[in-house]
Amino acid sequence: MDRGAIAIWEPNHIRSAAIETDSGARIAMPQSSAARFELGAPPSATTPEELLAAAYAGCFTMTFAEQLTASGYSASRLHTEVRVQLVRPGGHWEIPSIRIHCSAIVPGIEEHEFLAIAHAARNGGPIAQALRAEITLTVSLDPGGLVASRGWHVPEQGPGDIAPVAR
């Protein structure tokens, strides 16, 4: 099976740059590199890099939620932010790395179980596996109430290497 999208570029028409997906979503596309890569202000339209961030944020969140469920836990909230880095070392824009942070509320889970499942979810989804860019994952477990959440950096190598991070 497959999933797809169509981009249409017609500079002489009013709706000149748009993307439409299988499910019927219509997404405005920037018409110039200036609008796509402008520094500072948010872009005027959704950019390809934003869509990649959205794809991976959705994929990781679904994968993590399902692996928590499969382990007998039910997340009451997962909040995942993905930042796609853009650099232009030789005049061309490149994506050297992608940062992802997920803060979670998972009633009843122990830290070591949470981290083991986060590690399994790290590269478990199809989007992560399709990416060549370096991925940096941090997670935090929010106990709720007034207790501060705790955070960890989850490397690719193994759950044994997971290190706490100050957030």
Q: How crowded is residue 36: how many other Cβ atoms within 10 Å of its Cβ?
A: 19
Q: Shortest approach of its own copies to residue 154 CB, angstroms?
A: 17
Q: Which of 112, 130, 144, 167 binds its own copies (CB under 8 A)?
A: 130
Does 147 participate in binding its own copies (rule CB under 8 A)?
Answer: no
* 73/152 with CB nearer its own copies: 73
**Mask 54-93, x = binds its own copies (CB under 8 A)?**
xxxxxxxxx--xx-------xxxxxxxxxxxxx-----xx
**Roughly what angle, to the nearest 10 degrees, separates helices 111-122 and 48-70?**
130
What sign does the dihedral 120-141-62-138 (CA atoms) show? negative
N- to C-terminal Cα separation, the chain: 41
Q: What does the alpha-carbon distance between residue 80 and residue 16 come to, in Å, rounded to a whole number? A: 32
Q: Which stretch binds its own copies (CB under 8 A): 113-121, 129-137, 138-146, 159-167?
A: 129-137
User: Looking only at residues 31 through 60 of this chain, which bind its own copies when binding is defined by CB under 8 A?
Assistant: 33, 36-37, 39, 42-60
